[in-house]
Structure 1
Amino acid sequence: MSDSRSGLLFFLGFLLLSWGLLGAGIGPLLPQISDAFGLPLPLTGQVFLLWSSGFCLGSYITSHLLKRFQLSALFLSACLVASVAIFGLSITPSFFLFCFLYCITGTAGGIIFTSCHTSVSWFFPERRQAVLSFADFSFSAGTLLAPLLINIIMNSNYPWQIFFKAISFANITLAFLMIPLALTFFRSYTVERKVSPSTGEKTSFSLESDATGSKITLINYAIVCFSIGFIEWQQNVWLVTYAMSKGIPQVSANHVISLFSLGMLARRAGSMFAGKSQPEFRLVLLDDIILLGGISAILAGKGTAVLGAGSFAAGFALGGVLPIVMATAMASRPSRAPLLSTIALVMLTAGGLCSGIYTGSVAIYFSPDSALTAGLFVSVLLIISRRAFISALRGHSAACGGTGH
């Protein structure tokens, strides 16, 4: 890999690490934010909705912005806007302004994530799956480190605002790091050179086609992303509550959810060294078995060891789905990488929101057991959609190859 591409990889890794810290940091800081503004905790928690809405908006507008601006300009602008908005979160005296700035931060985050995915598709065509896994790994590492960093801040008697100031400093530093990349690496690549499939790269389906098969393939892609968001959100938010309802102490329950995150990290770390973007059916089948087995073990609720093993297995199986599916789709149509990223991010967010509403309501009115049962059905939906997605791409590739197209 060239030094310039290594520099871009370094930039993407640290950028997504900082956003993983930010995304997972707001939850542990909610009590402090609630006290600072004198508001009930449930009302303060509504900032998540603003974050999600801004994130989807930012992702959506990125594909339109890329028609007018270069990727480097989007990275630079989004990092600068984010650094100002995040710093504002630490000094604003008004909760209304805090919400506005948090929405702006989410919008900048949507632009940054879609730009990251687009960069991977355009500049790492031969290693899409590996680099997408690296991107997910960096973000996941940030989500794991966030609670530890906040504990250090609180135990050192620093004000909670310093967390946002540190993330703001990281983003403005990364914005300055983008300048030499913009002057060297990005200048040497034109959009026209990268929006077309690379030489020897077969197009499996066309997003520009009105063919029914293409639309169904996109629908399956969207369902896969929705299912990932639903399951991941459900495990991250409700698994501790579910484990405690089974008589497991909170400390042990926290270890159970940590194993889910570690499973995802382990899988993404392994995927970074994968050589192919096209998944093997035997590996997909193994993933399906591990995912269903993990969710079933969680629902069995037979003690900490079984819950922990199920949690790790579910996280491990789920952790590799998104990079593989996105890499496969982007290899088919590199010019549509921003659109594919937008679909993924919007559906992941929608899955998380639906999971939160459904699981919270069912857990309150029925039981956590009933709420988490939906995870098993959504897992089956994910498996069916992913198999249909992969089969459609392979079938079309074979047809194109057989006809000489």
Structure 2
Amino acid sequence: MITLILLIIIYLAFISLGLPDSLLGVTWPAMRLEWGMSLDAAGLVAILTTGSTVLSSFASGHVVKRFGTGKVTFISCMITGMALLGISFSPSYFWLLLLAIPLGLGAGSVDTALNNYVALHFKSHHMSWLHCFWGVGATVGPIIMAQCMLLTDSWRFGYRTIGIIQLVLALVLFMSLPLWVKHRKISASSIIEDNQITTEKPIEKNVFKLKGVKYALSTFFFYCAVEFSVGLWGSSFLIHVKNISVETAASWVAMYYGGITIGRFISGFVTFKMSNKQMIRRGQIIAMTGSILLLLPLPHYALMGSLVLIGLGLAPIFPCMIHETPTRFGKNNSQIIIGYQMAFAYIGGAFFPPLFGVLARTVSLTLFPYYLILCIMIMFLSSETLTVHTKNI
């Protein structure tokens, strides 16, 4: 019963983690008009949020080792909720920039802490469903905001509502703190059947000395480079290169995100039959196939299928890579390494899509499929090299 209750709380925490992630894009048009800001001023907000998340991810391994997953998750959720409430009362753009920092710090800590906890104490299908629930949160967030804006004609009430949801969850997490201690004692006396760790590596002060770590970081870097790039540039590619209407392109990119979310739900069941390594490899091949199809002169409906295919391919890669980390590098090192992996993932997602934007502006947007193929190829080679380096584990 303790395990079930804690698992439900973790799932709820990941839904709440996804809730704020897509709010800025939805509310920025109204925010900038209210404050008289330019369209590109949102970029600085995104940079501050992502940069804070990266710093938090790098530090979270050490923080969690000292304070425990339950306390870190509770404090991070509380910080996130307070930051969202603060944004809802912000009198100017300056305050939005200021509050973007705790918003990023809270997100990075809870993301890393929960990912490692699930990787250590639960089976692979739970990790896939965990990330599926993040997709649910990222989908529901804009819906809540849209409804609040319809009712009040203001973006502030939407931020306030989601901030309150975060603080309510923080209260639930505070009340659940004894459960984390009890569950750790229960799981310490049992063996994880899926991805069983038979030999434990000693704690490594410099985790970069562990064989294969750099290839794991590279895999996460290029995974998020692909995921974020399709989300950012997929619509522009369809409109300007494939002559798809704006409305149709937007709906097809939404189908791409749907492919990731549904794919992770399905992946949870597939992991009963396949190992994490098999899921990662096949996911990369499927994503590569979808990217290659974008190059071909296919009918318009087939282009939608290409984006969905990329989403389905990407779906199992991130959760299965995370879940495989304790097996590859040892559970004593997994918290630190997962923190680094999350940080590199955020860096790849923050910097590579804008870099392609520069390439598209100076050369051509038609390079988009080639860019995706190159990133997926590097991700695939990094992942396969990592498997070679850890094959005896």
Q: TM-score, normalised by structure 1?
A: 0.88
Does the 8 A contact of 2:69 with 2:114 survive in 1? no
The equivalent residue for 1:236 is 231
Structure 2 matches for 1:1-400, cutoff 5 A?
A: 3-124=1-122, 127=123, 129-183=124-178, 185-189=179-183, 201-203=197-199, 208=204, 214-215=210-211, 217-245=212-240, 246-273=242-269, 274-275=271-272, 278-279=275-276, 281=278, 286-300=282-296, 302-332=298-328, 333-394=330-391, 396-397=392-393
Do 1:80 and 1:171's aligned partners in 2 also have CA atoms closer than 8 Å? Answer: yes
Distance 1:286 1:71, change over 3 A: closer
Percent of pairs with identical residues:
18
Q: Deviation of residue 295 (structure 1)?
A: 0.3
Q: Secondary structure at the match of 1:67?
A: helix
* CA positional deviation for 1:7: 1.6
Cα deviation, residue 139, structure 1: 0.9
The gaps in structure 2 that reach 5 residues or longer are none
31-40 vs 268-277, which deviates more?
268-277
Deviation at 1:196, TM superposition (A): 12
Change (3 A) 1:286 1:94: closer
**Count of aligned residue pairs for this structure pair:** 388
Give yes or no for contact 1:86–1:168 (8 Å, CA) kept in 2.
Answer: yes
TM-fit CA distance, 1:264:
1.0
Aligned residue type for 1:248: I
Check 1:212–1:43 CA distance in 2 against 1; reply closer, same or farther (3 A cut): closer
Q: Does the C-alpha gap of structure 1 residues 96 and 190 become closer, same or farther in structure 2, counting only changes over 3 Å? A: same
SS in 1 for 2:345: helix
Separation of aligned partners in 2, 1:233 and 1:353: 8
SS of equivalent to 2:5: helix
How far does the alpha carbon of each residue in 1:155-212 deviate from its partner, in whole angstroms, 9 at most, with x for none? 33431111211121111111111133212x1232568985999796224877729899
Q: AA paired with 1:143?
A: A
Q: Which 10-residue stretch deviates more, 61-70 or 340-349?
A: 61-70
Task: Report Cα offsets for 1:320-373 as digits up to 9, x if no partner.
Answer: 111111111123412223212212211111111222221110122222112442
CA separation in 1, counterparts of 2:174 and 2:274? 31
C-alpha deviation, 1:238, in angstroms? 0.5
**1:192/1:206 CA distance change after superposition, 3 Å:** farther
Residues of 1 paired with 2:365 and 2:77: CA distance?
40
TM-aligned CA distance change 1:284 to 1:88, over 3 Å: closer
- 2:292–2:369: 8 Å Cα contact kept in structure 1? no
The TM-score with structure 2 as length reference comes to 0.90
Specify every segment of 5 or more residues in structure 1 that has no aligned partner in the other structure, as ranges. 398-405
